[in-house]
Amino acid sequence: MSRGYKFHNPEGLYFISFATIGWVDVFTRNIYKDIVVESLQYCQKEKGLNLYAWVIMTNHIHLIAEARDGYLMQHIMRDLKKHTSKKLIKAIANNHQESRKEWMLAIFKSAGEYNSNNKDYQFWRQDNRPIEIWSSDVVEQKLSYLHANPVEAGFVDKEEDWMYSSARDYYGTGKGLIDVILL
């Protein structure tokens, strides 16, 4: 991983992007998105995650987040990705209605065989693409980009209509699925 894509500042606010191996569209089903939501909530309560904004797309996730005092963002992300990887692989394998099961599991298994960090499967790409946010202008740009993803993808007409996003919290249309700290 490039030195430019690491968490250099322990107190920094970061825009973080991470994707599935092969950009596989796993998150087309709510059951899989809900695993990520629950894991983010757990990280907020138990792992020191301050979450300001988030969106789950079909094959990647964007966050604006920081680690609370005494925690490190790279450890939070490591634990989040490790936990969700196991839960998501199991959920896919056990989902009798999943028509893409064999195809997805084969991709994740093949990726896992080439990575000594994994025992069987690799679900997430190893990079997190963290970008430290250093000004209010950059905060606004990243927040706008993050919330516009579902609109740009053609999933919804308005940002706040995407349930798996913090846009609902920001645009006053209701409470989102995950508590966020508004920027």
Domain boundaries, the chain: 3-170
What is the tens place of the pLDDT at every residue in 29-38?
999 999 999 9
In the chain, where does DSSP find H-type helix?
30-46, 73-94, 101-113, 136-152, 167-170
CA proximity to 43, closest of 166, 163, 178: 178
What is the pTM assigned to this prediction?
0.94
Q: Which CATH architecture has domain 3-170?
A: 2-Layer Sandwich (3.30)
pLDDT band at 26 (very low <50, low <70, confident <90, very high): very high
DSSP class of residue 165 equals B
Spatial strand order in the sheet of 49-56: 49-56, 60-67, 13-19, 131-133
Instruction: Count the neighbouring beta carbons within 10 Å of the beta carbon of residue 116.
Output: 7
For residues 120 and 149, the model is more confident at: 149
Confidence of residue 116 (pLDDT cuts 50, 70, 90): confident
Q: How many helical (H) and strand (E) elements, i.e. helices and strands, does the chain have? A: 5, 4
Question: Given a cut of 90, is residue 152 above it in pLDDT?
Answer: yes
Looking at residue 128, what is its pLDDT? 81
Instruction: Give the mean model confidence (pLDDT) for residues 84-110.
Output: 97
Is residue 48 within 8 Å of 76, Cβ to Cβ?
A: yes
Give the pair of three-digit tokens for residue 117: 């960090």
How far, in Å, CA of 97 to CA of 107, rounded?
Answer: 19
Q: Which amino acid is at 55?
A: V
Reply yes or no on whether the pLDDT at 124 is more than 90: yes
Report the pLDDT value the prediction gives residue 46, as an integer from 0 to 100. Answer: 97
- On the question of pLDDT at 180 being above 50, the answer is yes
